[in-house]
Structure 1
Amino acid sequence: MKTIIIGSLVVAAVTFAACNNSSTNSHEGHNHDTAATAGEAMKQETTPTDNSVAAVKPQFTNLDAKVAASLKPVFDHYLHVKNGLAADNSAEAASGSKAMSDALGKVDKAAMTPEQQKVYSENEDDLKEHAEHIGKNEGNIEHQREHFAQMSEDIYALAKAFGGGQALYHDYCPMYNDNKGALWLSEIKDVKNPYLGGKMPTCGSVKEVIQ
């Protein structure tokens, strides 16, 4: 009996350590230049001793008001998807993704500068694809989470470039996908993990806040 108890404690300790292990490889496998650049910047971060979160500003400071207004619903519906997955609610995740698809079709690209159009175009098709998959897979939450992980890479790239219309926290889960890890964005500083849901809702760490 003592052996079983000790073994269980060891497993729990390893799991907790993995969850709290900070990792800088959250962008592995993402091919967009903007995300790669953001990943390099994240690797150079140092963890503040007071546990504060590093604040970063978006790349584009000359954003047209029409562009910002048309992008805001994209981020809002992404957060809808995130919150649905965090609550283990596949139907809400699907609903948010369908709304996100509609919002992507209304983004005002004509009001963007050529440089802004380039960044947006690098991520647009992937976002549409992942939103479509999540929207069509109500009831298959693990498949939704697979696409959400990839969607989050593209949303992160857009947030770093354009801002999200509000403060967005860049969170990271080191345990998802066989400990390969995955990022997500959140409107709140408290960690609510969309990949592990109710199993480990607070697993993860806050890397930065995009303001």
Structure 2
Amino acid sequence: MKKSLNTLMMATFILLSITTNAQKIKNAKTETVKVYGNCGMCETKIEKAGNVKNVASVDWNQDTGMATITYNTTKTNKDEILKRIALVGYDSDSFLAPDDVYNNLHGCCQYDRVAKVPVKTETETMATTDEHANHNHSATQTNEAPKMSQLDAVYENYFSLKDALVKTDGTTASAAAKELVASINAVKMDELKMDVHMVWMKVLENLKKEAIAISESTDTKKQRGRFNTLSTSIYELIKVSKSDETVYYQFCPMANNGKGANWLSKENNIKNPYFGSMMLSCGKVVETIK
């Protein structure tokens, strides 16, 4: 009896928390979608993955398998929420959970998986079929390119910024940082692959903060102080998304007041952005990213 009462109280608390969060969401839109799962444990994981304070609220019904999603349309969208849910092991009709994550779910949580293909893949296949039917091969190439090119622009502007710091050119570094901010803002995160999308959401705030700070100064000392943290975020992103060419992760033990600092380069040889000509070759390659 006591156990049942505690379970009821916990369920009531969770429901109130979800309701309160949903009420605080501005620019709210509510949608109902199918999310596959079995039990109360599934419900907890699905809702925890989807909920973001004052941004998104997920209420999953164990009996119907339907999730009611309320979200701020200026900060996220349904696909972003469903991707996060898929990454903890739960399929929807739009996104499939990675097989290894699904296989690691508790036995009672391993719902029957319905054979299906993600919506985005189906759309691309249909578009490709239509294009080939019209013999428009150039259009196929155009449609396939943007997914990676938007991140390539971020990387290229980062490398331009790095090169400006190597030359101790604060004005050019500021201009490169402004271009970097523009390329960051241009990224359509819902078009990124799921694993890249998750890292992008993790590093986005820091990327913009550091790039903006560098763009607002022409003092190379201040710019270099921000460049270390910026490079850490770029490294996390490029590790999962991969660049079109080999990238070298490099390290200088003397930078950052002797604490050491990293940066990325398209060149194997060392050109130190933290000291420029003062100690141009100080550092080493610590990782090669292909």
- 1:151 corresponds in structure 2 to 230
Give the distance between the partners of 2:193 and 2:236, measured in 1 at CA. 17
1:66 and 2:146 matched: yes
- 2:239 corresponds in structure 1 to 160
Structure 1 window deviating more from structure 2 (113-122 vs 95-104): it is 113-122
Give the distance between the partners of 1:83 and 1:112, measured in 2 at CA. 27
Give the distance between the partners of 1:183 and 1:106, measured in 2 at CA. 26
1:76 and 2:152 matched: no
CA contact (8 A) 1:66 1:108 kept: no
Q: Secondary structure of 2:272's partner?
A: coil
Q: How far apart are 1:180 and its partner, in Å?
A: 0.4
1:208 partner amino acid:
E
- 1:135 corresponds in structure 2 to 215
1:179 and 2:258 matched: yes
- 2:189 corresponds in structure 1 to 109
TM superposition score normalised by structure 1: 0.67
Give the distance between the partners of 2:201 and 2:148, measured in 1 at CA. 16
1:81 partner amino acid:
L
CA RMSD between the two structures: 1.2
- 2:101 corresponds in structure 1 to none
CA contact (8 A) 1:93 1:135 kept: yes
Query: What CA deviation, in whole Å up to 9, does each residue of 1:83-105 have, x standing for no partner?
Result: 00011111111111000000011
Q: How far apart are 1:107 and its partner, in Å?
A: 1.1
Q: How far apart are 1:123 and its partner, in Å?
A: 0.6
Q: Structure 2 stretches of 5 or more lacking a match?
A: 1-143
Give the distance between the partners of 1:207 and 1:184, measured in 2 at CA. 10
CA contact (8 A) 1:171 1:184 kept: yes
1:120 partner amino acid:
W
Q: Secondary structure of 1:154's partner?
A: helix
Q: Structure 1 stretches of 5 or more lacking a match?
A: 1-63
Give the distance between the partners of 1:167 and 1:115, measured in 2 at CA. 20
- 1:121 corresponds in structure 2 to 201
| Structure whose CA Rg is larger | 2
Q: How far apart are 1:209 and its partner, in Å?
A: 1.5
Match of 1:94 among 174, 178, 181: 174
Deviating 4+ runs (over 2 angstroms): 64-67, 112-116
CA contact (8 A) 2:270 2:284 kept: yes
TM superposition score normalised by structure 2: 0.49
Q: Secondary structure of 1:203's partner?
A: coil
